[in-house]
Every structure is written in C-alpha cells, then in structure tokens.
A and B are shown apart, each in its own frame.
Chain A
Amino acid sequence: MGEVELFEKVRPQLEGFCHELRELAKKKPDGGINKFKLQIINEKLDEANLLLTGKFKPFKDFGRFDQDSLPTNSDVVLILSQYLECLETWRSAHVIKVDYSWYWNTPGDLRITTGVPKRSHLDEEEEDGEGEDEGEEEG
C-alpha cells in the first residue's frame, strides 16, 4: 500500500477511536479498556508507526499498548491524540503547493489533492495567507 493510501486509511480510523474514547474518558477517565479494543487500536498504531519513523516518531519508547499494563481511557486518548498530531506533522512535510492548491508530494504526474498543512511547511514564503482559501482536507 502506498504511503498516501496508508495515511488516508489510518488517520480517520485513529480519529474515530480518539473521538469515541475521549467521550468515554470524560465519564470515566480511569476506566479500563477491553482487550478487543486495545488489540484493534494496536493494529492501527502499528500501521501509523510505518509512516511515523525517524523525526516523526511520537514517542521514543512507545510503539503500542501492552495489554498487561491495563491502560485506561485517558491513557489511550493521550497517546492517540499525540499520534494524530504527529500524523499531521508527517502530512505537512509531504505535501506541496501547486498554483493555489495543495497536493501530496508523490512521484510522477499523479496529483492527489489534500488540505492545507497545519504545520509549518518548507515553502513558508509561499503561504502568505493563502491557506484560508483552500478546501477542506480529505478525510
């Protein structure tokens, strides 16, 4: 699977998990998470870890949840929210602006549109407030 495809699959899934667990954590921040949920969250983290290497890695010593350490709702929300931030950082580093639109920086002639990067980009001198005009990023 290409990196863009992987990103476009993993990020919305992690956003969904984060949203659900954030709601749970509001009521029960110290509530336990069952093994099934942890297992599928770990699967998504494994996929995200394929993209988030080197300087994009969210945590030095964390790769996935250990079932036996009994992470709580708030623990998982904390980690997932950081992963989402790092995924956006990774995306921001892999997009380019052509004319007035943003595209994934992919080889060849293929142009895949994407949203305005939310992190500082290499071509900072080109920003000049153009970001507000752009469409919503694809989720």
Chain B
Amino acid sequence: MTCQGVSNGVRRDRAIIFPVALVRPRLNDYHGLTFTQDQVDFAIPFVDEDIPFYVDPFLLWKSPSQQDNALHTAVVASFNNIGQLGVKGMEEDSIRTLIKLSECPEVGLGSARDKQGKRIGEKTAADIIELFRRIPEITSGGLGHIEEIQLLVDQISKDRVSDIVCSLIKSFLIDFTIDQCRRLGIPTALLELEVFDYQKQTFISERTTLPVNPKNQLPIVLVPKRWLRYVPWINYDDYFENAFATDQAKRERVEVLTFNRHNYGLIREYIRQKELLQADCVNDPLFKPIPVISAKRKFEEIKQLATGRGEGADRRYEELMCQLLASVFYPQLDFADMQSRTESNVLIRDLVFYNSRGMDFLREIFEKYGSYQLVFELKNVSTIEREHINQLNRYLSEELGRFGVLVTRRPLSRAMFQNTIGLWSGQRRCILALADDDIEFMVELFESRQRLPIEVVKKLYIEFTRACPS
C-alpha cells in the first residue's frame, strides 16, 4: 500500500508494508498516518477490538452546539415514532427496526474484544414497544431521553443505547467520517451499507465512501470524541443508588424495572434531577494522564522500592511505571498496551507505545529502525546485565522495529553501554536505558512544563547516536 504527501501537518509515509506484530493496531497505523489521539476530533478506531467507550445521548442534548441538539431531537423523534408505530398496528416492523438499530458495528464502540457485537432479541424489542402501550406518559408524549429505556426494560444497557443512537444518526456520522478522512488523508473505499433514513423513517441502502477495516474489509464510521463517556449520564446504577428508595435497596434488577414501569413518575423526577445537574456531565477523555501530584507520589514510591522480585516489588514497579510513563509521554505518544511475555521462564513486561512520528527523533527512529511502535521493557533490577539486553534484543524484530528502551533503576555500566553500541554496530539495533534519575527528571518536567518529558528519551537517543561509530 502506498500513500502520498502531507496534509494539514499529518505525515504520511511513502510506502507501507504493514507489519503484523503490532500491539492493538489502530486504523491510522495501517495507513501510515501519524496523528495522535489528542490531535483529532474522533476516537481513533482499533482494528481488532472495540473502543471501550459509549455515545451518551445526554451529551448531545446538553451540548451548546445546535447541530448536536438537532441530532438529539432527531434521535428521540425517530425512536418515539418507531414506538408509536409499534402500538398502532406495525409492531412487527417496529420490532425488526429496533433489532437492527440495536447494533452499529461500524462505529466500533463497546467491550467486544473481537468487534463482534450482538443485537437485542425480539422479546427485548417487544418490551420496548410495550412501553408505548402501557405507560400513559410515554403513550402521549414519548420519551424525552431514549436512555430512559435502561431503567424500564431488561437487557438494555449503555452499549445498546450507544448503538441505537449511532444507528439513528449514522447518516450524520458518515458525513463526519468523510470530512475527517478528507482532512487527514485517510484512504476510503466505495461501498454500500444500510442507513436509517430520518425522512422515510426506515432503512435504506446507501452507496458512499468510507474507510474500511483492513482485516475484515468492513466499513468504519468515526465518532466525535466529544460525545463519548464510559457510562451514560442517565444509567441504571446511578438511578438505583441515588433515586430509588434506599429501603428497597435489596431488590433485584428485574423487580426494579417492573416497579419503574408502574411508577414512571419516579423516572421522570430522576431525569429532571439529572437535567438540573447537566453542567457536571462532560465527556470522558479517551486517555487521562494522572495529575502531577500523583505522578510525584508514584515516583517517590518507585524510588523507595527495592530492586528484584521480593515482596512483589517487581510487579509494583511495573504497575507504577506503566501509569507514570503513559502519562508523562502523553500526548506525544499514545499508550498502546502493557503486555507480558515469557522468555526462558522469566516473565517480562513491556509497555508499548504507538510511534506517532510527531517529533524529529521519533521520525528518525521509524525511518532507521522501522519502529511503528516503541517498546519499553521494565526491569526492576539494580544492574542491567548482558542477558537483559539480549532479552530485549531478541524481542525486537523486523516487524516490531529495532528500537527499544530498558526502564531500570540505575544507569548502564560503561561495559553494558558499550554492549549496546556493539549491538548497533553488528545488528543496527538501538537499545537505550532509562534509569530512576531520568524518570525523576521526566517527572520534574511533567510538573514544570518547561520541556516535554519525552525529550529525555530524545537526549538519550542523541547521546547514543553520537557514541556509535560513524
């Protein structure tokens, strides 16, 4: 696959031969597009799994954007219309429509690790229609917020609500996706898919150009990240804890839902309270760095940790370092995953970051060492030995890239540093070492914001490069 040029400051590499060893690859990794999550307005989709966030329609409702408000109105109007048609003799059609709406695989949101979601069943769809028959307020006025159905019908949770909303406004999301692809140079393909038509209030087939998942060739629709939360503002758990009477706290979910259907006034009041508190409803960032004070505490704890594995020191070191590095490197590097591997019966944990190539040295690391992702191997040892360097060296590959960082407690000895230079001379591998002092400096920079913490890695890289024989 080849790509051309630079658009809006986003670099695109000339020739992409895509490696299969990437950890949690994202759509932009496949196309050699080097924007970070922070730089774009949508949630960058993963290729192999869903993003564990959900569209919260309440964010559209409370948005200062008239466009978002209009979309919310369209969602509610369409949903209520489907319900009304269901009680007016078109129940089968309405049930079929609700089932179709309940899954929107193109947006890739939810908890599915393999991007395979499930639709609601006929019974659940029928239960939704029943609301429009049994609850007078809904019969006459419809729902004000469709996420109320979580409080009234079983088998409906945040993922269903999110998918229903996305399905109902898929046409807008397609336009949004086309626009973002044009701005960022994301390749698209001409394809056909079913879209809910607001005018006709039914599904129609539409030919359009969208990006596709390179693994399964299914279309991808991008979602504005300003609409995303972990849990909707109106949700069952919040209702149960804060609105449902505490003396009834021991009731099972189904009992509660049944109660709610017979006491819809309580739902209305809960919704009213949530609307009054709307200022507190904000989208959840896709990644939130830890606060500075927390970073400093974590580093202090790291400094006090013993080296080695005694009393779980190595696991604690790994946990703390994961949270710390993911935060201090943000937003220049997006965190991909922490992974474990076993080598010679030794459990090794790595932190993997996407190589955004957003800085000069990151671009150089990509060009010279083929690193689509950057591996940071955690080593809670007092001294790095030759075998530690060899372990990381064996893991680095043509697919993963030939650049890696050992995160350890003390700087490399002169001999071990020479060892890394030897690896460069012989195999063109670049292995750096970040020690506690470097991490401390990074935390200081994280606090002071005078320089970027990742520039500490750049400094080490430059020192390494200067030490290599020409």
Contacts and interface: CB of A to CB of B under 8 A. Distances in A.
Interface of A: 28, 30-35, 37, 68-70
24 contacts: A28-B448, A30-B440, A31-B448, A31-B450, A32-B441, A32-B444, A32-B448, A32-B450, A32-B451, A33-B450, A33-B451, A34-B450, A34-B451, A35-B451, A37-B450, A68-B455, A68-B462, A69-B459, A69-B462, A70-B441, A70-B451, A70-B455, A70-B456, A70-B459
Interface in B414-470: 440-441, 444-445, 448, 450-451, 455-456, 458-459, 462
A69 B448 CA distance: 17
Contacts of A35: 451
Contacts of A34: 450-451
Nearest to A37: B450
Interface of B: 440-441, 444-445, 448, 450-451, 455-456, 458-459, 462
Contacts of B440: 30
Dominant SS among interface residues on chain A? loop
B361 to A, nearest CB: 8
A33 to B, nearest CB: 6
A34 B444 CA distance: 13
A127 B389 CA distance: 65
B459 A31 contact: no
A13 B455 CA distance: 28
Contact of B444 (A28, A37, A69): A28
A70 B444 CA distance: 12
Contacts of A30: 440-441, 444
A17 to B, nearest CB: 15
Given A32-B451, A33-B450, A34-B451, A68 B445 contact: no
Contacts of A68: 455, 458-459, 462
A98 to B, nearest CB: 48
Contacts of A70: 441, 451, 455-456, 459
Contacts of B451: 32-35, 70
Query: Which are the 5 A-B pairs with shortest beta-carbon distances?
Result: A34-B450, A32-B450, A32-B451, A32-B445, A70-B459
A30 B450 CA distance: 12
A52 to B, nearest CB: 26
Contacts of B455: 68, 70
A29 to B, nearest CB: 10
B464 to A, nearest CB: 12
Nearest to B448: A31
A36 B193 CA distance: 52
Nearest to A70: B459
Contacts of A28: 444, 448
Contacts of B462: 68-69
Nearest to B360: A68
B363 to A, nearest CB: 15
A22 B444 CA distance: 18
Contacts of A69: 459, 462
Nearest to A72: B441
A37 B448 CA distance: 14
A59 B451 CA distance: 26
A32 B458 CA distance: 14
A33 B455 CA distance: 12
Contacts of A32: 441, 444-445, 448, 450-451
Nearest to B463: A69
Contacts of A31: 444, 448, 450
Nearest to B440: A30
Q: Which of A33, A35, A70 has the most CB of B within 10 A?
A: A70
B290 to A, nearest CB: 19
A88 B458 CA distance: 37
A68 B451 CA distance: 10
A95 B213 CA distance: 77
A36 to B, nearest CB: 9
Q: Which of A28, A37, A68, A69 has the most CB of B within 10 A?
A: A68
Nearest to A36: B450
A91 B346 CA distance: 65
Contacts of B459: 68-70
Q: Which of B440, B451, B455 has the most CB of A within 10 A?
A: B451
A51 B209 CA distance: 65
Nearest to A31: B448
A68 B455 CA distance: 7
A118 to B, nearest CB: 34
Given A32-B445, A32-B450, A70-B441, 12 more contacts: A28-B444, A28-B448, A32-B441, A32-B444, A32-B448, A33-B450, A33-B451, A37-B450, A68-B455, A68-B458, A70-B455, A70-B459
A28 B447 CA distance: 12
Contacts of B444: 28, 30-32
A71 B19 CA distance: 38
A73 to B, nearest CB: 9
A37 B450 CA distance: 10
B3 to A, nearest CB: 30
Nearest to B458: A68
B265 to A, nearest CB: 59
A33 B450 CA distance: 6
